[in-house]
Amino acid sequence: MPNRFFRFIPILIACMGISAYAAHAAEMDGMSMPAPFVAVARATVTDAVDVKRYTGHISTTSSVDLVARVSGELLRVGFEEGDIVTEGQILYELDDTRYQAEVKNVEARIAESEAKLTYARQRHDRAKNLFDSRADTREAYDSAESEFKASQAALLAAEAQLIAVRDDLENTRIIAPLTGKIGVTNYTRGNYLTPNSGIIATIVQVDPLRVSFAMSNKDYLSLFGSEEELKARSRIQLRLADDSVYEYEGRVKFLDNQASQKTDAIRVFAEFDNPDGKLVPGSAVTVLLARRNGGTNTAVMPSAVMHDAGSAYVYVMGEDNQAQRREVTLGFATGGLQTIVSGLEPGEFVVVDGTHKVVPGSPIEPDYVDAALADGRGE
């Protein structure tokens, strides 16, 4: 009997262990794990557009090569190389001593010509009165009239010369004809400049700038169909060398007047504001050209979208703050947002940060954020 009792002791102990584990499991099952804290944003809406990508080249809309129009010693350079100069700013000053003297000399000639003209007019008037009263000959009158007209011509010639010498005097100061960025100066103070000295410096307009790109005739006709439609319905953005999207949208200004015979592409010219100098003339960019269709697409922060081998998906917060996986079809990326063609409706809340902590079907603790903050459009 005792031996038979001890034979059942291991079985009894095992049963007690199983019972204790079951009780502990039941206790743990009754305890709820804390919901993970994640960022949640509302799905928004954006224009429904189709996006094409092209390689674009940045150029200036205006540039000026500065040259000397008169000769003289360079007395002052009024800028630092690489400055943004403004229209009307004095950039170079040449020695103007000789030109001031020429102006004074011509002004003196004008005064002399005016005095001679006054005398010739009086003599002409006396000769005419005498001729009309038959007190003098025709020859005397003709001589007086000839002298009068010669004096008029001499005054006009002096006045014309004054315009020329004053222009020369003004050209001793080389003034910026436009606002833009000035490059390297080829001459410094002390050099003697002449009209044959060549280019002194170049000013390039940098705000706004022009971006040109070649769009296939097929894209042009299928997306827009006319230049007016392209200007009215297009949305044009730039992707820069660091893969960021330029913050200012462009404006299509015009199309080239003919397509390329080799590529059947037509060149489009757009204008972009460049207040911060991010765009540099001569560099290349990626042009994102879109057509505004007038409809709307759902859009979310890009961080809300995840991928697996089968599809793209997001976590949607439903009733009782439970997160559910939702498969979606992606559209284009625009303005810092990812558009969703199907699978999500505007106004639904999706997890945008902390997706690795989400368990489908389990509750989450939401921290609400504004989707517009994704691209700096909200506060």
pLDDT at 377 over 50: no
Residues 233-259 have pLDDT tens digits of: 898 999 999 988 899 999 999 999 999
Query: DSSP 3-state assignment of 296?
Result: strand
| Preceding peptide of 208 cis, ω within 30° | yes
Distance between CA atoms of residues 174 and 193, nearest Å:
12
Tokens of 279: 């765009």
Query: Do residues 287 and 267 lie in contact, with contact meaning Cβ atoms separated by under 8 Å?
Result: no
Kindly indicate the confidence band of residue 7, based on its pLDDT and cuts at 50, 70 and 90.
low
Pick the range with the lowest mean pLDDT from 2-16, 197-211, 283-297, 308-322: 2-16
Instruction: Please say if the pLDDT value at position 26 is more than 50.
Output: no
Give the pLDDT of residue 25.
45
Q: pLDDT tens, 72-87?
A: 999 999 999 999 999 9
The model scores a pTM over 0.85 = no
